[in-house]
Amino acid sequence: MAWFTRQKPSLESGPPNDGEKNVRTEGLWQKCDACGQIIWRKAVEDNLNVCPKCGHHFRISAAERLQQLFDDGQYVTHDADLRSSDPLEFVDSKPYSQRLDDMKAATNLPDAVICASGLLNGREVEICALELKFIGGSMGAVVGEKITRAIERCLEKKVPLIIVSASGGARMQEGAISLMQLAKLSAALMRLDEARLPYISVLTDPTTGGVTASFAMLGDLNIAEPEALIGFAGPRVIEQTIRQKLPDGFQRSEFLLEHGFLDAVVKRPDLKHYIGHALDFLAA
């Protein structure tokens, strides 16, 4: 019965070689959500977090957006001292104040948007990028105020505005205060339009709810990344309401472009050049 006997490895001999290999290769590969291919992570990063096999656009942070759009990744941020309060003393699975503290610790951001100024293809611009990981990129009083101040800086300096949206909509924890931001931002953008200053809206996956119902769809040019989910209510809510099956690709960028809700769908590696070329035309 010697074949039934298994010798235990000596603790003094250290871990087996294959264990060492697992440590060395950990984090070097990732699986594409779309095509299922295992891809070298460095190749994805070099391609601006777009799958080199199928072109699937991975979600990226607000800071990465700014680094990709500003020349040499250099920019100056504004209004980082603004913090959300808890006017309703809202509690769901946890108090809103605790949720804010947790999000600040997890993202190292004070709220769900970064507003910055710098150069894009040599042209001075203001760019606001929403951070999806901060309570779903939701729009509360601070997001509305920071973007409004960015618009006011554009008016003061006579420069274009770019907003990169990634959001689940208005922040329910702030109730009607969050909904007020829709009107506030729409009015501010009207002032920008009256001053004949360009505003380019970039919609990424996902852009939904109150953000879609306000500033995200009010650009002089509304462009989106491929396959981005864009809409007000989600597809499941719509299907349950109208009791009908929705067409394939409903609320995706390509569907919206085909039906006239977008001006263009632009791949991420081409985005900066596209925006720069559009500003050459709009700001002429």
Q: Mean of the pLDDT values across residues 119-137? A: 98
**216 and 110 in a common domain:** yes
Report in angstroms the alpha-carbon separations of 151 from 6, 159, 211: 72, 9, 16
Q: For position 234, what pLDDT does the model report?
A: 85
**127 and 31 in a common domain:** no
Q: Which of 40, 58, 76 is the last residue of a domain?
A: 58
pTM, two decimals, is 0.89
Within-domain flag for 238:
yes
**102 and 53 in a common domain:** no
Query: Per residue in 99-109, pLDDT tens?
Result: 999 999 999 99
Q: For position 50, what pLDDT does the model report?
A: 97
Q: For position 235, what pLDDT does the model report?
A: 87
CATH number of domain containing 232: 3.90.226.10
Within-domain flag for 245:
yes
Query: Per residue in 12-34, pLDDT tens?
Result: 444 445 544 454 556 899 999 99
Query: Per residue in 150-191, pLDDT tens?
Result: 999 999 999 999 999 999 999 999 999 999 999 999 999 999
- Distance, CA of 244 to CA of 238 (rounded, Å): 8
**162 and 48 in a common domain:** no
**119 and 50 in a common domain:** no
Within-domain flag for 10:
no
Q: For position 24, what pLDDT does the model report?
A: 54
| Residue 110 or 11, more confident | 110
Q: For position 7, what pLDDT does the model report?
A: 54
**111 and 54 in a common domain:** no
**189 and 79 in a common domain:** yes
- Distance, CA of 26 to CA of 50 (rounded, Å): 20
Query: Per residue in 218-268, pLDDT tens?
Result: 999 999 999 999 999 988 889 999 999 999 999 999 999 999 999 999 999
* Phi, psi dihedrals of residue 190, rounded to the nearest 5°: -65, -40
**172 and 95 in a common domain:** yes
Considering only CA atoms, which of 259, 192, 182 is closest in space to residue 220? 192
Q: For position 161, what pLDDT does the model report?
A: 98
Within-domain flag for 1:
no
DSSP state letters, the chain: -GGG--PPPPGGG-S-HHHHHHHHHTTSEEE-TTT--EEEHHHHHHTTSB-TTT--B----HHHHHHHHSGGG-EEEE-TT-----TT--BSSSBHHHHHHHHHHHHS-SSSEEEEEEEETTEEEEEEEE-TTTGGG-B-HHHHHHHHHHHHHHHHHT--EEEEEEE--B-GGGTHHHHHHHHHHHHHHHHHHHTT--EEEEEEEEE-HHHHTTGGG--SEEEE-TT-BB-SS-HHHHHHHHTSPPPTTTTBHHHHHHTTS-SEE--HHHHHHHHHHHHHHHT-
**236 and 101 in a common domain:** yes
Look at the chain and report how many structural domains it folds into. 2
**Owning domain of residue 122:** 59-282
Within-domain flag for 6:
no
**28 and 123 in a common domain:** no
Within-domain flag for 71:
yes
- Distance, CA of 115 to CA of 134 (rounded, Å): 15
Within-domain flag for 8:
no
**134 and 41 in a common domain:** no
